[in-house]
Amino acid sequence: MQDTHAHPPAPPPPRLLDLVRQQVRLLHYSLRTEEAYVRWVRSYVRYHGLRHPAELAGADVEAYLCWLANERQVAPGTHRQALSALLFLYQKVLRQPVPWIAEIGRPRSERRLPVVLSQAEVQQVLAALDAMAPGRQHAPYGLVGRLLYGTGMRLLEGLRLRVKDVDFDRRAIVVREGKGFKDRVVMMPASLEQPLREQLQRAQAVWQSDRAAQVAGVHLPQALARKYPRAAESWSWHWVFPHSQLAHDPRTGVYRRHHLLEVNFQRAFKRAVDATGVAKPASPHTLRHSFATHLLQSGYDIRTVQELLGHADVSTTMIYTHVLRLGGGAVRSPLDAPGFEPPVPRQVPPPQPPAAAGRYSAAGAPATVRRAREPAPAFRRAAVAVQALCLPPHPNAAVARCRPMPSCAAAATSAS
């Protein structure tokens, strides 16, 4: 008799990359960290011929890292990121001990000075951003660039800005979930008050069209969408810089309105830098470096700049003091002392026209033709040098001798 109450078949075990995603979300890591770890684990498995990482050990991890450093020639920061992803795989996902971690050396960190634009260069780039997207209602690249430079925000912090975080009464902007999931308050530039109000009017028109079309609300952090079901569709949680098109949420798959994409502004900024002719490897993050450097040049203390940038340690902010000393700062070069005169430009005579072939010059006058003289032998040149150092010859040629001087013998020896 067939059993009608048979248990359904067990679901297949989750794949390795799905386990990585689950563990990353369990620890509340960011979406960028999840994408990076999944990418490194996939590359590690493919490097070892699709073998499961549970079958591999520390020597295999070291071989993969050596391949990245030698063959791919990745930067030290990329090398450390790959190592962190593999440690997360073995420690958090596979739950395996890693006694070999002490044998794998970590790449030496490099302290690089940030790229900083001058105020004139910043103005040129921002003007190029204004002229880059005429007629684009939802892509105010110039306003985004001015917001990043005027407040020191990171690119994603500015693009993820919501309506409720813009306070016109206090002239303040609240940065939510910055790097390390930390909030902070930055000032609102007075010159951006009216442009921000106009941008909010354009964003409100987009929000009203979404409500009329019954589009799903914007993404909310954590479990706020379940706790406040209507908050995602409210105006206060809407984006200040909404995207012109709808998109799928990468985690939930819901079709909703997203903010302006990061890659779009990065490409626009690169074209603006190329259009202005600024010969620096500038990126949108360069506006943040320029913000901090220009504040320090204006006389603001390092602690104030640290709070505005959201750095946990003041040593991170101290990197901008090195930028100030790079071009001289308070140190005066000794070449600029009052006693030194500026170099006089050397007058170079104009080149003469080449003489015509034959015995006549270009002007028609007879040209002087001299025969080439062959060099004298070595012993004759030595004798001439010795004679130049000796006294004039005696009237009696038979007794003419050189006065005994030490320099005569030395000159003869050196000439020979």
As a whole number of Å, the CA-based R_g of the chain is 37
CATH topology of domain 119-324: hpI Integrase; Chain A (1.10.443)
Based on the residue annotation, tell me whether 311 is a catalytic residue of this protein: yes
Structure tokens at 93: 């996902």
Per DSSP bridges, beta strands 255-259 and 172-175 are: unpaired
pLDDT attached to residue 398? 46
Alpha carbons within 13 A on the beta-carbon side of 27: 12
Q: Quickly tell me which residue has 């684009």 as its tokens.
A: 136
Rounded to the nearest angstrom, the gap between the alpha carbon of residue 47 and the centroid of all alpha carbons in its chain is 29
Distances (CA, A) of 92 to 57, 95, 97, 146, 222: 16, 6, 10, 42, 22
Based on the residue annotation, tell me whether 164 is a catalytic residue of this protein: no
Residue from 320, 370, 373, 401 carrying the catalytic annotation: 320
pLDDT attached to residue 400? 46
24: number of Cβ within 10 Å: 21
Residue from 42, 179, 202, 211 carrying the catalytic annotation: 179
Query: Is the domain defined by 16-103 classed in CATH 1.10.150.130?
Result: yes
Based on the residue annotation, tell me whether 95 is a catalytic residue of this protein: no
CA torsion 295-298-304-307 (nearest 10°) is: -10
> Across the 416 residues of the chain, what is the mean pLDDT of every consecutive 10-residue run?
61 86 90 92 95 91 92 90 94 89 76 88 93 62 94 93 94 87 90 94 94 91 84 93 88 87 93 93 94 89 88 83 62 69 72 59 53 55 51 49 46 42
Based on the residue annotation, tell me whether 28 is a catalytic residue of this protein: no
Euclidean distance between CA atoms 211 and 237, whole angstroms: 13
Residue from 154, 162, 289, 294 carrying the catalytic annotation: 154
Spatial contact of 20 and 37, defined as CB atoms under 8 Å apart: yes
Based on the residue annotation, tell me whether 154 is a catalytic residue of this protein: yes
pLDDT attached to residue 340? 72
Residue from 138, 288, 289, 294 carrying the catalytic annotation: 288
Domain span(s) for CATH 1.10.150.130 in the chain: 16-103
pLDDT attached to residue 319? 83
Alpha carbons within 13 A on the beta-carbon side of 249: 14
pLDDT attached to residue 412? 42
- Residue 157 burial (C-beta neighbours within 10 Å; 0-12, 13-18, 19+): buried
Domain span(s) for CATH 1.10.443.10 in the chain: 119-324
Closest CA to 235 of 204, 193, 214, 260: 204
pLDDT attached to residue 327? 53
